[in-house]
Structure 1
Amino acid sequence: MQAFPLALMAFVFYLAAASWQALTLLRRVPPRNLLVRGLGGLAVALHLIVSIGLLMADGSLLPGFSTSAVLITGLAGLLLLVLSMFKPVLNIAAALFPFSGLVLLLGTEMPTPASTNGMTPGIALHAASSALAFAVLAIAALQAVLVGIQNKALKHHRIRGVVQALPPLTTMERVLFEMIWVGMGLLTLAIGSGIIFLDDMFAQHLVHKTVLSLLAWLVFATLLICHHRLGWRGMRAVHWTLGGYIVLLLAYFGSKFVLEVLLTAN
């Protein structure tokens, strides 16, 4: 399979969809959700085709650094399109789609070592739940950025431009916490299945990944508990969401980057 031409086509579709949504946010063009979903859907379809090819080349359900990045961003794009049919989250496409396209282009040109883990049902459950958790929480992190922009703008009484194009702040925050709840459930499943089914979950080269994943889980759990008990919202919720996602980012990709890119280069 010639991955790069497909990746380039996907990037063009991603960029077209993101550009229209960005212009919608800036109130330069009218909303065209069907157009954005259509262009985004074509991009995601090509993205997933390339992802499947890279997974087959890796020969494992626990792929390398670049393949994981390509798979996660494609999955995040797909989840966003599906979620946008039920929740007002399509604005996230303005940031997610160009990033996904760039990762796809780079990922097709950066082959990484394949994992030696077998494709057992337990490992498949761990891999799938990990990817889904990371993708859902990535969308939540971008939603948190929009909530932060909206919150600061309203505090300074700036209601034009991007803020005017967004749903009400209460709706934005409700959707944010709904996504965090879903992401937390998937992250719990990923950690639990990893402990049960991965023999080397606490091996030396994975211990930092395990510790960081548990730390991210604690950050999100604290946020959800304090939101329910103490009413945490606004910028505090934004900061905790982004902090938890940064920890999860380090857990998911940090070890892969060090083991497969830095150590391999040396």
Structure 2
Amino acid sequence: MQALPFATLAFVLYVAAAIWQGMTLLRRVPPRQGMVRLLGALGLLLHIWVVFQLMELSPGLWPGFTNSATILMAVVVNILLVASLFKPVLNASVALFPLAAIVLIVATWVPSQGRDTGLTPGILLHAISSALAFAMLVIAAVQAVLVGLQNQALRHHHIRGIVQSLPPLTTMERVLFELVWAGVLLLTLSIVSGFIFLDNLFAQHLAHKTLLSLFAWIIFTTLLVGRYRFGWRGMRAVRWTLGGGILLALAYFGSKFVLEIVLHQG
């Protein structure tokens, strides 16, 4: 396939950036954030080019399972790179760059068929806000894992290794909640626009996505209320963030995976 060499090169760039950032966390190599961003950005450019190639091979306004996954991961990487210029979130690339690389290779080998659906400005708003919400909250989930590791290490008085490489725990938690705040606002826009512009959000093929998205919204919103009303932090914040993130991932990919991969239905 014509796209495979470019997907492979993107894979190498993503993994190289993730390995260097991972070695930085382990204090095996000096920090090189500029280099990590550059490798990630080059991987993203190739990633986007491959997405366009895949969309040409499977025409239709709404992409299928594997193509949807690789588009969403391109959005995730893009937001992560931009956010890392202002916030200490580049460490999330240790998990997200390899995930984007794997999804891209899988989509190249197993492209999915798109389907034609009327695309209106309202539906476009729903699609864009959904993608941005997913990106923000998946970055928040990885940030939560790092906060959890840092929290556990400090509780057991392990102050070497990864703890020394991360920003202070208070900073990590503040960034986590900023990501959740942004994600919840975008998820709210996605849900509201879906109710307004989609014909029936509780139709058979959309019901699970709607319900899981609503449950995820409730979890993230409860976390924010608990944070600012009761001072929730630490492992409680980590667990709630990961719980909401898992529900959101199931909402976005659950039915597509079952219908297209398991049952082989378009």
In the alignment, structure 1 residue 190 sits paired with structure 2 residue 190: yes
Structure 1: distance between partners of 2:40 and 2:4: 18
Write the letter of the residue equivalent to 1:29: V
Summarize the alignment of residues 22-33 of structure 1 with structure 2, pairs less than 5 Å apart: 22-33=22-33
Aligned residue pairs total: 265
- In structure 2, the CA distance between the partners of 1:109 and 1:91, relative to structure 1 (3 Å rule), is same
Indicate if the aligned counterparts of 1:76 and 1:139 stay in contact, CA closer than 8 A: yes
AA of the residue aligned to 1:10: A
Counterpart check, 1:62 vs 2:62: yes
Bigger Cα displacement from structure 2, 26-35 vs 199-208:
199-208
TM-superposed CA distance for 1:14, in Å, is 0.5
1:216 aligns to 2:216 (yes or no): yes
Which residue does the alignment assign to 1:117? 117
- Say whether residues 1:244 and 2:248 are aligned partners: no
Deviations 1:4-53 (A, max 9, x none): 11110100100111111011001011001111011111001111111233
Q: Deviations over 1:28-86 (max 9, x none)?
A: 11001111011111001111111233334444443211011101111111111100100
What CA RMSD, in Å, does the superposition of the two structures yield over aligned residues?
1.3
The separation in 1 between residues aligned to 2:49 and 2:214, in whole angstroms, is 32
For the structure 1 residues 61 and 128, does the alpha-carbon distance in structure 2 shift closer, same or farther, using more than 3 Å as the test? farther
Q: What is the CA deviation profile of residues 152-186 of structure 1, one whole-angstrom value per residue up to 9, with x for unaligned ones?
A: 00000001001110000000000000000000011
**TM-score (norm: length of structure 1):** 0.96
Taking only the aligned residue pairs, the percentage that are identical comes to: 62
State how 1:140-151 maps to structure 2 within 5 Å: 140-151=140-151
Q: Is the 8 A contact 1:61 1:127 kept in 2?
A: no
Paired position in structure 2 for 1:52: 52
Asked if residue 156 in structure 1 is aligned to residue 156 in structure 2, the reply is yes
Moved over 6 A (4+): none
Q: Give the Cα separation in 1 of the matches to 2:31 and 2:237.
A: 28
Distance 1:188 1:60 in 2: 27
SS at match of 1:264: coil
What is the identity, as a one-letter code, of the residue corresponding to 1:152?
Q
**Alpha-carbon separation, structure 1, partners of 2:42 and 2:121:** 31
Alpha carbons of structure 1 residues 7 and 35: separation in structure 2 relative to 1, 3 Å: same
Counterparts in 2 of 1:1-266, with a 5 A limit? 2-264=2-264
How big is the shift at 1:101? 0.4
Specify every segment of 5 or more residues in structure 1 that has no aligned partner in the other structure, as ranges: none
Q: Quote how far apart the aligned CAs of 1:263 are.
A: 1.3
- Which amino acid counterpart does residue 260 of structure 2 have in structure 1? E
1:80-107 per-residue CA deviation (whole Å, 9 max, x = no partner) reads 1100100011111111111110110001
Q: CA deviation at 1:208?
A: 1.1
Measure, in 2, the Cα distance between the counterparts of 1:196 and 1:4: 39
